[in-house]
Structure 1
Amino acid sequence: MTATQRAQRPALLSDDNLILDTDSYKASHFLQYPSGTTRLFSYLESRGGKYPATKFFGLQYILKRYLATRITPAMVEEARDVFTAHGEPFPFEDWMYIARDLQGRLPLEIRAVAEGSVVPNHNALMTVTNTDPRVPWLVGWFETMLMRVWYPITVATQSHYLREIIREALEESADDPQGELAFKLHDFGSRGVSSRESAGLGGLAHLTNFMGSDTVEALRLGRNYYGAEMAGFSIPAAEHSTVTSWGKAHEVDAYRNMVRTFGQPGATYAVVSDSYDLKHAINEFWGSELRDEIIASGATLVVRPDSGDPPAMVRMTVRALANKFGTTVNSKGYRVLNHVRVIQGDGITEETLREILAAVMGDGFSASNVAFGMGGALLQQVNRDTQKFAYKASAAEVNGEYRPVYKDPVTDPGKRSKDGVLDLVQEEGRYRTRQYQEFVREYPGSALRTVFRNGKLLIEDTLDDIRARD
């Protein structure tokens, strides 16, 4: 590329310009509301979906990382140029008013349920309104950004319900169900998501329920945005390349190296064992040639099958290891492997997880013997419609008068939105959305907290706070 060509290239757009983080058509909406509109009120809810309730998580990250950023005149000028060239009108004077007169602080009030709360569907989880009558359209402008909270909520929700499946199995078959639960579902999803931010936010959402993760980015977000010095933990583990680099003829040497390197008293380490022949690896290498050394090390070896039908492979692995290492019968009458455990990290979904637990426990083995690793299905195989999230306007103030706002399409009654100034309350231990037909100053008995107002984050939860709420 010549110097002339470089000089003719368009200027790069800022990565940190919040004004650009919206949908194109939002830029024209300031011209579409009724004349005299001074206030809008919107809310977020799950309108149903795969699970009957959602676990709220991730708004604090969005607020702290993005909305708390101050708007500058340079951002406004850049956004004007972009939207004008893009074919959209742009409320330049109003944005400049925010940048200059309001010192860049966004005049919004956001109220939300405490992160970590599990709330039945069809309830208001978050509400948003403007605090300056000049810019009511701002409530809709940031729908795009705020709606993305669906992702950490949905990951946290799925992880929560998977935890309950495992909890039930442990309560039936393990001596210490609560002590074991935290490390029973391990996050292997970082490579399977679409971005670094998705890895961090989705990975941290999972860690609201469990303590095991290989998603390092979740640790960064946990420390920087949720006060967690160390949000999760992992163990040394082999992958196929570290085993097969020894060559098939020296497979046992690869395993021996793992035992001697990581087999310290009280330690745990995992070894993928199906690079060539899983059954042979268990019976001949782990269960015969290396057996005494494994036992003498005082560590726990976790054998990982990684191919084949997950329930069948785990069942075979547990039974083969039991034959070689023996078992102990626990207080619940279930067998627990001595010195070894199993982790299945391939093909784990809610369905296969249930099938594996049923197969293992059906053979009389405790759920203590198995753990699960979950990748794309945990962090990536969800979308906004998994829980049917919606962000809708429900009230307005026009020429000083309250006005209900809602949609009610005859072609899809399920999309009828709520109207009113909404609040979430708890009555007799149950959540319920309360609807006011006026703008109010106080919300008695509210389960929503004012977490953001006029550019400032007002409440910060730690990951420990969030874990304690569930």
Structure 2
Amino acid sequence: MTNLVLATDSYKQSHFLQYPPEARAISAYGEARPNPFSEEVLFLGLQPFLIDYLAQPITQDNIEEAAEICAAHGVPFNRNGWQAVLDDHGGHLPLEISALAEGTIAPTGVPLFQVVNTDDRMPWLTTFIETALLRAVWYPTTVATLSRKCARIIGAGLAKSSDDPDGQLPFKLHDFGARGVSSGESAALGGMAHLVNFAGTDTLEGIMAARRYYGADMPGFSIPAAEHSTMTSWGREREEAAYANMLDAFEGEGALVAVVSDSYDLDNAVDNIWGGSLRDKVLARKGTLVVRPDSGDPVETPARTLAKLWDIFGGTTNAKGYRVLNDRVRVIQGDGMNVASIARLVDRVIADGFAVDNIAFGMGGGLLQSVTRDTLRFAMKANAMRDGEGVWHDVSKDPATDPGKASKAGRQAVVVEDGKMVAHRADAVDPSADLLRPVWRNGELLVRHTFDQVRERAKA
């Protein structure tokens, strides 16, 4: 799936015949429209697309393959146009893309990027790449926005109950989503998006994406952890031995080890094994045991487990008056976690008199897969056409049946007014104030963001 000439919707192959004859350039912008999920978005994902897709020039083989496919598929093919891309531009699409800096927290309804063709013979090219470009941006932006919402919920709980909220937060939401996504590329982009907000992950593709596309060193961390197969392979009669092996195998100063404890009976495991036969062993270790409930009610079960561990192992009361478990034990809840259940669990932990320090959260498919383009109502729309005289004409839609789908007319700019980003017509603002800066032109990456820069901007 690497042929950029075919990385579009079938019907777009016919669009070179549909624009007005006077068209020389088409401008289009992409945004997250106002939506019920979030009033702001964390912009991410354009740079990987530029590096992996637009930086790869098309070839003669790509053109021939596309011509063959389109002929058999029943749609026209713009052979002359694509041949000109290859012959006159070395296979690089003659496009300029301007965008907000990645990691920017932008209000919905504000353009995140804007595209225009740079060869007057190819006004059709701008919207031809909509499918691939929008797909590249909406997914990591949506995952990053979802992850950030979780960070704000957990962060508020920590601010209320913890003596060290800033130190605790980076490892409070762990990404377990690699197996729950539709592809390795999704795991990479979504896992990377989560790492903008947190440092806990088991999605190695996300780490590799942050390193490859944004030059990160090591943006995410994990710990040794059990799964049901490694526990149940010992047999029910040797459950205690399986747990003891985990404590012995991963010993060390400050070492953490997570053990799934519901293979048979969670309450028995907590009361009679962790809190009974293995209690002294847990207390004698130099590291921390993280007990993982993995079934039952996603709020009640971890809350009950936390209360039991307090009764067994005790702890301290912090300066804010909340209980903190003995540092040899903690809890992680990964089953059934989403934005709503995390909020409920945070509230329950605090209501029970515990600091949020005691518990970590994990998300899988709910983090990396349970989002769609409609979650943030992403769209890319044409907003202007330049004619042969060099005059820009407004282009927009305003459907009477759905005013919420109205698009912006005229070349766009994003400026800050009264501390907030707003969209304006580009011809009505000082170009130096425009936050949509060129990042790509005719095959050349003009700006390369680092992962540290993305993370820093996302703290806004």
Deviations 1:346-387 (A, max 9, x none): 000111111111111111000000100101110000001101
Query: Does 1:90 find its partner at 2:77?
Result: yes
* Residue in structure 1 matched with residue 100 of structure 2 by the alignment: 113
Match of 2:396 among 383, 406, 414: 406
1:85 offset after TM fit, Å? 1.6
Match of 2:228 among 222, 240, 261: 240
* Residue in structure 2 matched with residue 427 of structure 1 by the alignment: 417
* Residue in structure 1 matched with residue 366 of structure 2 by the alignment: 377
* Residue in structure 1 matched with residue 355 of structure 2 by the alignment: 366
AA matched with 2:160: E
1:399 offset after TM fit, Å? 3.1
* Residue in structure 2 matched with residue 12 of structure 1 by the alignment: none
1:437 offset after TM fit, Å? 5.3
Query: Does 1:190 find its partner at 2:165?
Result: no
Query: Does 1:342 find its partner at 2:331?
Result: yes
| Unaligned runs of at least 5 residues, structure 2 | none
Partners of 1:87 and 1:268 in 2: CA distance: 59
1:202 offset after TM fit, Å? 0.4
1:147 offset after TM fit, Å? 0.7
AA matched with 1:19: V
AA matched with 2:350: M
Partners of 2:25 and 2:344 in 1: CA distance: 52
* Residue in structure 2 matched with residue 37 of structure 1 by the alignment: 23
* Residue in structure 2 matched with residue 418 of structure 1 by the alignment: 408
* Residue in structure 2 matched with residue 287 of structure 1 by the alignment: 275
Q: Is the Cα contact below 8 Å between 1:263 and 1:300 reproduced in 2?
A: no
| Unaligned runs of at least 5 residues, structure 1 | 1-14
Root mean square deviation, CA, Å: 1.2
* Residue in structure 2 matched with residue 7 of structure 1 by the alignment: none
Bigger CA drift: 85-94 or 179-188? Answer: 85-94
Q: How does 1:219-368 map to 2 (within 5 A)?
A: 219-338=207-326, 339-368=328-357
Partners of 1:315 and 1:399 in 2: CA distance: 68
TM-score (normalised: structure 1):
0.95
Partners of 2:32 and 2:79 in 1: CA distance: 34
Q: Secondary structure at the match of 1:444?
A: helix
Q: Secondary structure at the match of 2:431?
A: coil
Q: Secondary structure at the match of 2:234?
A: coil
Q: Secondary structure at the match of 2:187?
A: helix
Partners of 1:129 and 1:467 in 2: CA distance: 29
Q: Secondary structure at the match of 1:432?
A: strand
Q: Secondary structure at the match of 2:438?
A: strand
Q: Is the Cα contact below 8 Å between 1:404 and 1:437 reproduced in 2?
A: no
Deviations 1:326-346 (A, max 9, x none): 010011110000011000010
Match of 2:51 among 38, 59, 64: 64
Bigger CA drift: 201-210 or 95-104? Answer: 95-104
Q: Secondary structure at the match of 2:432?
A: coil
AA matched with 1:145: A
TM-score (normalised: structure 2):
0.97
Partners of 2:453 and 2:435 in 1: CA distance: 16
* Residue in structure 1 matched with residue 150 of structure 2 by the alignment: 162
Partners of 2:236 and 2:296 in 1: CA distance: 20
Bigger CA drift: 249-258 or 285-294? Answer: 285-294
Partners of 1:63 and 1:386 in 2: CA distance: 24
Query: Does 1:27 find its partner at 2:13?
Result: yes
1:443 offset after TM fit, Å? 2.0
Q: Secondary structure at the match of 1:110?
A: strand
Partners of 1:261 and 1:294 in 2: CA distance: 13
AA matched with 2:99: A
Q: Secondary structure at the match of 2:380?
A: strand
Partners of 2:192 and 2:69 in 1: CA distance: 34
Q: Is the Cα contact below 8 Å between 1:72 and 1:100 reproduced in 2?
A: no
Partners of 1:387 and 1:394 in 2: CA distance: 20
Partners of 1:158 and 1:55 in 2: CA distance: 9
Partners of 1:436 and 1:333 in 2: CA distance: 54
Q: Secondary structure at the match of 1:257?
A: helix
Partners of 1:317 and 1:182 in 2: CA distance: 23
Match of 1:132 among 119, 126, 130: 119
Q: Secondary structure at the match of 2:77?
A: coil
Partners of 2:453 and 2:388 in 1: CA distance: 43
Partners of 1:314 and 1:386 in 2: CA distance: 29
1:444 offset after TM fit, Å? 2.0
Q: Is the Cα contact below 8 Å between 1:58 and 1:153 reproduced in 2?
A: yes
Q: Secondary structure at the match of 2:103?
A: coil
AA matched with 1:416: A
Deviations 1:375-406 (A, max 9, x none): 11100000011010110000001232321000
